[in-house]
Structures are given as C-alpha cells and as structure tokens.
Amino acid sequence: MKHRRNTLATAFLAAALCVAAGGAHAQSKIKVGLMLPYTGTYAALGTAIENGFRLYVQEQGGKLGGREIEYFKVDDESEPSKAVDNINKLIKRDNVDVVVGTVHSGVVMAMAKVARDTNTLLVIPNAGAEAVTGPMCAPNIFRSSFSNWQPGYAMGKVAGERGAKKVVTITWKYAAGDESVEGFKEGLKAAGGEVVKDLTLPFPNVEFQALLTDIAATKPDAVYAFFAGGGAVKFVKDYAAAGLNRTIPLYGPGFLTDGTLEAQGAAAQGMLTTLHYADGLDVPKDKAFRADYGKAYKMAPDVYAVQGYDAAQMLGIGLDAVKGDVSKRNELVAAMEKARIDSPRGAFTLSKAHNPVQDIYLRKVVGTENKSEGVAVKALADPARGCNM
C-alpha cells in the first residue's frame, strides 16, 4: 500500500516539476543589454534614453511579449576604442537577447559590426550614423531615432524657403557633423540656395572665435551649425557674443538647442531649428507621455527620452508578435519592420533600412522651450545609400 502511494506521490511530483520547469522556462526573463554613456559629456543623454525605455516597459506591467525584462548595463563612455570590448561584455558575458544603444556615432559603428558578426538584435535609440542604415544595414539592426541626414535636409529646405541664397556651414569634423551638413546642402539646393563655405574644427574642440571672425568676413545670408552638448552651448553663446545673431540668422538641427537652453539663456532666443520632436506638440500621446515621465522622474522629457521610449515600443511590438520567443528571429524582425509606432513625436513607420520615416518639425526657441511651429517636412525618409536590403 505504502509503496503504491509513494510511487504515485513521486509520479505526481515529477509531473508537477515538469510542468513547473516548462512553465518556468516560459516565465524566464528577456535579457536587455543597455550600452549607453553613463559618464562623460553625453551622460545626461544616456540617462534620458534609459528612463524613456524603462517607462514604456513599466507601462506594459514590466513585461514585453509577456515576459519580464532583466536589464544589464554597460557604460560605453562615448569611446569608440572601447566599443567592441564593451558590447562583447553584454553579448558574451551577460548573454543578452537584445542590445540597446548608443548615443555616439563612432561607438555605434563598432557595435553594428559586432552585431552583424554575431547576429545579435540591436536597437539604436540615438546615434544617427548613416552607415548603420546604409552600407552596414542588416535585418537585426534597427533604429528608433533619426539619421544625421534627416534634420539637416529639413533645415536646408526651410532655410532656402526663407530666402537664404549664400550659406556658411560650421561643424565638428566627424561623421555626424559631415552627414548633417550634407543633408542640409541637399535640402538647401532643392530650395534654391547654395553653401559657399564649409568650416570645420576637430571634435571636440570649442575654440570658435577665429572661425566666427571668418564667418563675419564672408557675410553670408545664414549660417548652419551642427553641434551637440557642451559644444552647442558654447557655439550659440559665442555666436551671440560676436554680435552675428543680429544680422545673420543661425540655423541648425534640434541638437543645437535641445537640453542646452538653460545654459544658453538669452543667446538662443528666437532661434529656428528642425527636429523630429518639439515642445508643445498637439499629439495626445505626447501629452500623456510628458505627464507620466514627469511623475516618474521629476523632470521634463527630451527627444532622447522619446527615442528610448520608442525603442522599447518597437521591441515590444516585435516580442508581442512572437509571444516572447526570441529564438523566432525572422518573425520578430518582420513584425518590427511592419510596425507603426505610436510615438510621442507622432506616429511613424520604419523604412526598408530600418530607420524611422517621420515628420520633421520646425521649432522656435521661446524661453526654455523649443516650441513647435508646424511641420517642416512630412514623412521624411532617409535615402539609405549603400544599403542592400
């Protein structure tokens, strides 16, 4: 009698364990590797991106595709030379299912190479390097932000439409700067203007005084500048201090005035910039997003937070389609490609090269806000030159 009861009990236990094991397997967490700058000049951007990402996951009850998320973080320090080692920490040491990152274009180029070689899913929440949706494009690489060309092109069209015939460009000599200026040139040409001079200085040099003198001597109709972070703060202030802003309008992509207005103060007032996000947008999702973000993090969101939020959204859509089974890569990718992302910036879709096709807004600096003045270019897609997808 006892024997049979024991056997039955054992059998029950075994069955229960099997169910539990099977269930536990389905309940195991999805590993998300965040490779962002947590130190250095872009630290604030990295934090904003992570905040946005986590906010979306929280709104879904802490799960994407029905599974909980486990986060792994690596500080990339915006250093391209350490990028390969850093992303390998996430892929080989932590065995993440997807990598989300980063801000700096040079770092993301190295990440894209490793992602291609190891076939790891990579979602880029900022870096606009055209190479990753150009020659290095791949089915497993997505971007939720922009390509450097997009805001530049939009600004070029606006500048041309506002009567600028001769324009001087100024930027740092690196991929993001070059690509932004190229986009501007194309847009300006389409609207009937031309760039007469390209000024550059090495990244991250901020001694602008000599170049500002050069601009004054050239007497153009307008100036297009691409800088970000500390460089943006300094340039706008120096431009005003040199008195150039009274006679020569300064244009630029939104990075020139995003997150920098408190420091730039009076020097930036009235400046026009173009970006895929702005303050005071008439988008219901944006109003809800701003309220939730403010409650969760006690600060106002910026374009970087929106990009992080949308990266999570994109990933969530894909994971929902495969019910959390990351091994079904092809279906996951297909779902992400077809996704329509309900973003605070306004809904957008992805191009064939996996870059957002989105509205670019014209913004004006009023106080400490970049107020939207309407859409500069609607549904702008990056030309994705060199991508064979």
Q: Residue 30 has which token pair?
A: 């999805």
81 near another protein, rule: CB under 8 A: yes
Q: Which is nearer to another protein, 1 or 210 (CB)?
A: 210
Q: Which is nearer to another protein, 58 or 71 (CB)?
A: 71
- Cβ(342)–Cβ(306) under 8 Å? no
- C-alpha to C-alpha distance for 113 and 371, rounded to whole angstroms: 38
- Token pair 């910026």 in the structure block, residue: 302
84 near another protein, rule: CB under 8 A: yes
- C-alpha to C-alpha distance for 173 and 38, rounded to whole angstroms: 24
Q: Which of residues 155-214 bind another protein (CB under 8 A)?
A: 173-175, 199-203, 206-207, 209-214
Task: State in angstroms the smallest separation of the CB of 66 from another protein.
Answer: 28
Q: Which is nearer to another protein, 73 or 285 (CB)?
A: 73
- Cβ(274)–Cβ(363) under 8 Å? yes
Q: How far is CA 317 from CA 56, 128, 261, 324, in A?
A: 12, 22, 34, 10
Q: Residue 59 has which token pair?
A: 């709104």
299 near another protein, rule: CB under 8 A: no
122: burial class by Cβ within 10 Å (0-12, 13-18, 19+)? buried
Quick count: other Cβ atoms within 10 Å of Cβ 278?
A: 26
Q: How open is the CA angle 229-232-235, to the nearest 5 degrees?
A: 150
Task: State in angstroms the smallest separation of the CB of 139 from another protein.
Answer: 19
Q: Which of residues 233-292 bind another protein (CB under 8 A)?
A: 233-234, 237-238, 241-244, 247-248, 260, 262-265
Task: State in angstroms the smallest separation of the CB of 35 from another protein.
Answer: 13
Residues touching another protein, count (CB under 8 A): 62
Among 83, 124, 305, 312, contact with another protein (rule: CB under 8 A): 83
Q: Which of residues 99-118 bind another protein (CB under 8 A)?
A: 105-106, 109-110, 113, 117
- Cβ(208)–Cβ(234) under 8 Å? yes
Q: Contact residues for another protein (CB under 8 A)?
A: 38-41, 43-44, 73, 75, 79-85, 88-89, 92-93, 105-106, 109-110, 113, 117, 129, 173-175, 199-203, 206-207, 209-214, 216-217, 219, 229-230, 233-234, 237-238, 241-244, 247-248, 260, 262-265
